[in-house]
Structures are given as structure tokens and as C-alpha cells.
Structure 1
Amino acid sequence: MGTGSNTWIIDTGASDHMTYDTKFFDELSSNTCDPYITSANGLPSPITGEGTISLTPTLSLSRALLVPNIHFNLLSDLKTHDMIGHGKRIGGFKCETCILSKSHRTVFPLSDSKAAKPFDLVHYDVWGPARVTSNGFRWFIIFIDDCTQLTWVFLLKNKHDVASILPEFCIMVFTQFHARVKVFRTDNGGEYVNNTLTSFFRAQGIIHQTTTSFTPQQNGVSER
């Protein structure tokens, strides 16, 4: 919609009433409680003012935001609880968009499968940074054997130290248990998927399994 449009969209997910057009305001002030709003795409848009708006003789907005970067005028009852309209259902009307937006993701199925032998599969993940350091250590990496659930924890001063700790763990497994790690499973973080570790895995004949991005449920052993 172009500048000057009188069309308003009802958006109950919006935090406030907001518009990009100064002409709607009866009163407009530059004082705002928040410096910006976050759009659905995650990008911030600055708030340059707020004030009151009278859309009709019976509909007044006690607080609306001026956000020049948006391209729509939005009505919301999420925070202000203003009456923004009413209507009636005719013919059993159903809004597909509303149904989809309120739907939930399918629950991930539980898995009770385990590796047949120790070190056939090892899960690992990195946690940090900690707000309080201990001798300069702000991170830790955890290794969990899928078969026995035995767990090892190594402290890290930097996140990229994973590339040096992982070979040390493999040497420890070989020396102490006379075994070799066959498969490592991690998420898709850059500390796991990089040229250094890819070359190490290839040289050692280790398979590196990665979970789908933004799906921590698939890496549940180490996440928990």
C-alpha cells in the first residue's frame, strides 16, 4: 500500500497499533517507551513517535506508534485491549490462515535405540559462554557415548578450541579403552562443521552425522 492509504489491517499479533503516516495522528509526540519494533522477519524498525488517533467517531486509539519503515497500518488489541471492530459469522466461515497460524508442530517421536557397542556413536555439544569464568574457561564440550551413556566434559577457553579437543578425546578413547570412535553426531554449528574437523574425520575414517538446522530435538541426547 502506498503512502496515504486509509486502509487498516487487523493484526492481533501486533504489539501496538502502528502506522507509517503522520496524517492519522490527532496528537503526536517524539517520546516513546521503546526505540524500535521487531518485524516478523526479525529485523528492527525504529519508532519515531507515538500519539492518539481517531479513526471514526466511535473508534479512537489511545496509543499508536509511528513506524516509517512499515508499509501497512496495523490495528491491535493485544496490549491496549481497545475495541477495534465486531462482526458475525455467516455460513460457518473458517479462516485457513488463522487455523494454520495456531497449529502446533508434530511431536517428535521418542527413540529407545542405542548403539550396539561403546563408541560406535558419540554425541557431543558445546555450551557457553558463561557469564562467570573459572581460570579463563567460559565454555565446555560434552561427549556422551550412545551405548553406555558415559559422559566426558572438557573445559574450553574459546569456542574454536573444539578442533583441538576432539582429536584428544579420540586418542584417549583408543589408549584407555582400545576402541575407536566410529560416528560423531552433532548439530550444524560452525564449531563442528568446518574444514579442520572435516579433514580430521576423513583421515580417521570417522562418520560425522549432523542434525537438521534449528531442530535441537534431533540432538536430544547431548541437548538434555
Structure 2
Amino acid sequence: MAPELSCSIPSTPRKRRRVKARRPTALMELARERRLVPDVWSLHEWSAWLTPVGVTGHRHDAAFFVASVPERPACSADSTESERVEWRRPAEVLADQAAGRTVLMPPQMYELSRLQRFAAWSRLERFSRERAPLGLDRMFPVIAQLSDGNQLGLLLGDDLYPESPDTLGERTVMKLPHTLQEASSGSRRWHRSHMGKASLCNIQLPHGHIAPVPYPAREADMV
């Protein structure tokens, strides 16, 4: 008999500790033990982010995927990477951010600002499935300190993005002799985040990807 397809993870503490051990083989060992086949075919590559230099703490090189499941699986928060688990619409989370009820990191805000553009889950699933084979570029934000104390998170394609970004932290923090208003009015191509406020993009992204729009998305922004 073929193993059953499943996305659920055993809830015993011992099993969870093994998956959280961060060994590349831990998940497959657990799947063999439980006679499960991880449904990797439902994972569609969505984006990849590298933590900018100058950020305190650990830097992360993280990949994000979109997946479709027939029903909500049982989930639980771990004790290190998350505080709680919720199933919510992207626009609801962005609304909480705008109202000051939650804090989002720039990659979270950027990706939720993309996801809010899909009027239905079926449209997102189809888009991500058809787009994934086109590949993607790693997103590497460069933090720019402005003369008025504001910060911008610059991304590839922005007029202010450096030609040779410092991925190793070997140079000093990028400083620009502009205020936020000057940096906005003096640029034609935007691909940036106003740190903690909004993700802005007016360029065509490579690999067929969709651009973020500020919350709340207008009807004309929906796909």
C-alpha cells in the first residue's frame, strides 16, 4: 500500500524537537517513520530574501513558498521562531500594521502587499504555479540613512540602489544627502520600502512577478 499524502506533523514534543533540529534530513526521517509523503509538488517558489547588513542579530537567507491545501492543517507555534499561529487574510494583517496593532518586518510587509492584490485564493494559486518555473532573484535590501533621519530599504531596480551592494558588511552604512521627500521626488524608478510604513514599486519586476502596492489595495490593483 502506498503511503498516504499528508501535510500534518505529529504533535508529540519528541517529534517536534526532531523537526526543529535544523538538520536537512530531519523532515525526511520523520516522514519515513510515519509513512508519509510530503507534498512538495504543492510548493511553488515565491521569493527569497537575504537580511541586509547593519541589522542586529542573526542574518537570514530565507526562501518563501506558496502552497495550497484542501483544508486548514493543525498548526502550533514553536518556542523560538514564532509567538502564535493564525490564519488571516493579507489585508487584515496590513490593516493591523497600519493601526499600530502589530509590527511587520520589511519582507513581511512587502510580501503581504503583493498577496493582498489577489481577489481570490484560486487566482494566487494559479499565478504562483505558472510563475514558479520562471525563477527569481534573491531580494537583498540596502538600508539607506536619509538626512532627515528617515530610512529607506532599497531593492534592485530602484534608482538609488547601489551598483555593487555590500552583502558582507565590509563598508559603512549607506548615507544619502536627501530628505524622504527629496528621495521620492528625485527618483523615477521606485523599488523600496519606507521602513515600517509601506512597500513601493513602480517598475516591472523580472521573472513575471507581481509588484507590491500600498495598503489598502485599490480595485484597479487587484488581479
Structure with the greater relative contact order (CA < 8 A, sep ≥ 6): 1 or 2?
2
Common fold: TM-score over 0.5: no
TM-score range, shorter chain: under 0.3
Task: Looking at secondary structure, tell me which structure has more helix per residue.
Answer: 2
Q: TM-score, normalised by structure 1?
A: 0.20
Q: TM-score, normalised by structure 2?
A: 0.20
